């Protein structure tokens, strides 16, 4: 398994342009029709041609979700795959996708939280960079532009208290903490030399503790160069910050909290610089 430090050949899909064809899929479970329609219309408003995966609204098994993604990967007219839905089934297909095609005919994957495991799998198996977040104005900058994306810490955000000092560089990998823990042992890349991105929704402090302890004790956090912490929403009851501080401080690396992850779209799987003193996370583009 190649580490983030050694992985110099990041695969960047072409940037999006007006008129490009994008495909909406539902890898995490069946979404609401209204969500699919809303996402498709927003993408059309950006000048994109939009189609919806055959099984996006009625997949009855994992094979149909895999089929929708693989068809999009193999279709040379499709430049991006945009995931919708808030189910929790993406891990069931993370090992079954056409990674060979993704490596040689790269297609931009756009997905948030529940799609963390897919971003990790595509990077581990194909070196493919992607966009973590939802389609909004920051998505336009991340998907259509080739300039670095700068994310600034919000001082009054609850996780801003975790910020330490120092700076570090490394490939930005991660996302939803529960999905990262789920990926350990099979599609979680080596994090040696990486900046680890962490955020979560709906976890209890004991779950946060167990997952981070497992990642630490199994050596999966060995070599991490810095930690970028987003929001831990609806997590509790109990002091989530104490748990995060207790589990992350022993890594002895710069920590930058208070990042508004989820309020926009950012590249993942590309080199980044975390500057805890300046309160910034600067990420190289996911597209070329």
Token code pair at residue 39 = 């996402």
**Residue for token pair 């919708």:** 84
Which positions ≥6 away from 244 have C-beta within 8 Å?
159, 162, 208, 212, 229, 232
pLDDT band at 29 (very low <50, low <70, confident <90, very high): confident
| Count of beta carbons in the 10 Å neighbourhood of residue 275 | 18
pLDDT band at 9 (very low <50, low <70, confident <90, very high): confident
Mean pLDDT of the chain: 95
Phi, psi angle pair for 157, to nearest 5°: -75, 145
pLDDT band at 2 (very low <50, low <70, confident <90, very high): very low
C-alpha Rg value of the chain to the nearest Å:
18
C-beta of residue 232 within 8 angstroms of C-beta of residue 200: yes
Would the CA dihedral through 275, 208, 5, 144 be positive or negative? negative
Tell me how far apart the alpha carbons of residues 42 and 50 are, in angstroms, rounded to a whole number.
Answer: 10
pLDDT exceeds 60 at position 19: yes
Q: Name the pTM for this structure.
A: 0.96
- Supply the pLDDT for residue 1: 46
**Residue for token pair 């831990």:** 232
**Of 266, 263, 251, residue with least CA distance to 154:** 263
Determine the Cα angle at 127 with ends 11 and 82, to 5°.
75
Q: Which 8-state DSSP code applies to residue 133?
A: S
Which positions ≥6 away from 32 have C-beta within 8 Å?
none
- Supply the pLDDT for residue 4: 58
The tens digit of pLDDT for each residue in 231-279 reads 999 998 999 999 999 999 999 999 999 999 988 899 999 999 999 999 9
pLDDT exceeds 80 at position 71: yes
Q: What is the mean pLDDT of residues 187-212?
A: 97
- Supply the pLDDT for residue 38: 95
Token code pair at residue 16 = 């999006």
- Supply the pLDDT for residue 7: 52
- Supply the pLDDT for residue 8: 56
**Residue for token pair 């309020």:** 263
C-beta of residue 183 within 8 angstroms of C-beta of residue 121: yes
The tens digit of pLDDT for each residue in 130-179 reads 999 999 989 999 999 999 999 999 999 999 999 999 999 999 999 999 99
- Supply the pLDDT for residue 262: 81
């Amino acid at each position: 398994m190649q580490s983030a430090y050694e992985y110099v050949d990041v695969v960047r899909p072409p940037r999006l342009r007006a008129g490009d064809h994008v495909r909406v899929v539902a890898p995490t479970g069946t979404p609401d029709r209204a969500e699919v329609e809303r996402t498709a219309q927003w993408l059309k408003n950006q000048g994109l041609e939009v189609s919806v995966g055959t099984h996006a609204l009625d997949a009855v098994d994992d094979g149909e979700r895999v089929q929708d993604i693989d068809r999009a990967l193999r279709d040379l007219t499709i430049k991006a795959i945009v995931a919708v839905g808030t189910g929790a089934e993406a891990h069931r297909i993370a090992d079954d996708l056409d990674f060979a095609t993704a490596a040689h005919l790269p297609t931009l994957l756009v997905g948030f939280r529940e799609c963390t495991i897919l971003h990790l799998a595509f990077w581990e198996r194909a070196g493919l960079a992607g966009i973590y977040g939802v389609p909004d104005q920051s998505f336009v900058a991340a998907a259509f532009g080739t300039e670095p994306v700068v994310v600034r810490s919000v001082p009054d955000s609850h996780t801003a208290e975790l910020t330490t000092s120092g700076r570090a560089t490394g490939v930005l990998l991660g996302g939803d903490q529960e999905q990262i823990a789920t990926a350990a042992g099979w599609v979680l890349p080596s994090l040696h030399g990486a900046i680890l991105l962490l955020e979560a929704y709906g976890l209890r402090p004991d779950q946060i503790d167990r997952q981070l302890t497992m990642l630490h004790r199994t050596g999966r956090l060995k070599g991490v160069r810095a930690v970028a912490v987003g929001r831990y929403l609806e997590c509790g009851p109990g002091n989530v910050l104490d748990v995060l501080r207790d589990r992350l401080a022993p890594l002895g690396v710069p920590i930058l909290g208070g990042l508004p992850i989820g309020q926009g779209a950012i590249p993942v799987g590309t080199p980044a610089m975390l500057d805890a003193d300046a309160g910034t996370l600067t990420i190289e583009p996911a597209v070329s």
